[in-house]
Amino acid sequence: MINIPEPKTVIYGLYHVDDPERIRYVGQTLNGAASRFKQHLSSATQARRINTPVYRWIRKHGVDAIRCRVLEAVDDASLLDEREVFWVRELGTFRGEYGLNMSAGGGSLGFRHSEDAKRRMSEAAKRRGMTKANAARSLARARGQKVGNSILTREDVIEIKRLLWSGEPRSTLAAKFGVTQPAIIHIDKERTWADAPWPIGPRCTPAARGISPRIQRGQDHHASKLNESAVVDIRARSAEGATRASLAREYGVSSQVIMLIATRRAWKHVA
């Protein structure tokens, strides 16, 4: 009996043992599907868990319920990205109702640039270089000085720090100076404009004034993409049978967010 070696450079798919026709995740590898499959199972169950859709799916069903199948053996490793994109699109594992891929495929994982490509990228990087002007510009940006499209001046930031010191809310300052709330947070935590001075004396924090800090939630949170009426609509349509994927696309959020809203694990304060 002749043992035929397993191909190493392959596109593979993961599926549930009870639903073998539905590939849920597509990947590529240079080391064989069996070896990569073992890595997936190990990563999903390790103590410091990786919280991606495919690993959450593996943990939900258990490693014994997940299987791996070679979709295509690729003779030329430089074609792995192209073939991965094809299979992700063909099987709908990115943005599909049951897909677990976080991108359309063709990432750097498993792909190696040719020596000629590496040489050309290196030469391009050297041509760009970091001139003295670019270096000074980067340093100025790190220090928070007015660079490019920055709309704050040093005087603005000194005033912002004075108002923060006196207890002015960050949201109020963001509206007053025409910037985002994260920009005010970065100034407050000295991630930017660290060279601008703070006032002298004790800071008037909410705790010092006997006020419990308000937890931002729902549409008041600076990063929220939704409002309360959208949440009500999402819950109603989800109850009527609308898929999480379609709602996620419509509202510009992830399917995970839709699931949390539909199950009332997020936006709990909205009836």
Give percent helix, percent strand, percent coil of the chain, each to the nearest 5: 45, 10, 45
The number of helices, as runs of H, and strands, as runs of E, in the chain is 11, 3
pLDDT digits (tens, 9 = 90+) for 85-98: 899 998 989 877 78
CB-facing half-sphere around the CA of 28: CA atoms within 13 A: 26
Closest CA to 11 of 131, 147, 99, 106: 106
Report the distance separating Cα 79 and Cα 74, nearest Å: 7
Boundaries of domain holding 158: 151-214
Q: Who has greater pLDDT, 201 or 144?
A: 201
Paired strand residues for 69 = 13
pLDDT confidence band for 125 (50 / 70 / 90):
low
Specify whether 32 is located in the same domain as 59: yes
62, part of any domain: yes
Number of domains forming the structure of the chain? 3
Q: Which of 117-121, 156-160, 229-233, 265-269 has the lowest mean pLDDT?
A: 117-121
Q: What angle do CA 203, 173, 184 make, to 5 degrees?
A: 75
Specify whether 197 is located in the same domain as 240: no
Task: Give the H/E segment covering residue 115.
Answer: helix 115-128
Specify whether 210 is located in the same domain as 227: no
- Is the per-residue pLDDT at 79 higher than 90? no
Report the distance separating Cα 230 and Cα 236, nearest Å: 10
Looking at residue 109, its pLDDT comes to 44
- Is the per-residue pLDDT at 150 higher than 80? no
Looking at residue 269, its pLDDT comes to 79
- Is the per-residue pLDDT at 16 higher than 70? yes
Residue range 140-159: average pLDDT? 68
Looking at residue 165, its pLDDT comes to 85
Looking at residue 211, its pLDDT comes to 47
188, part of any domain: yes
- Statement: the pTM of the whole predicted model exceeds 0.85: no
Looking at residue 25, its pLDDT comes to 95
Specify whether 26 is located in the same domain as 84: yes
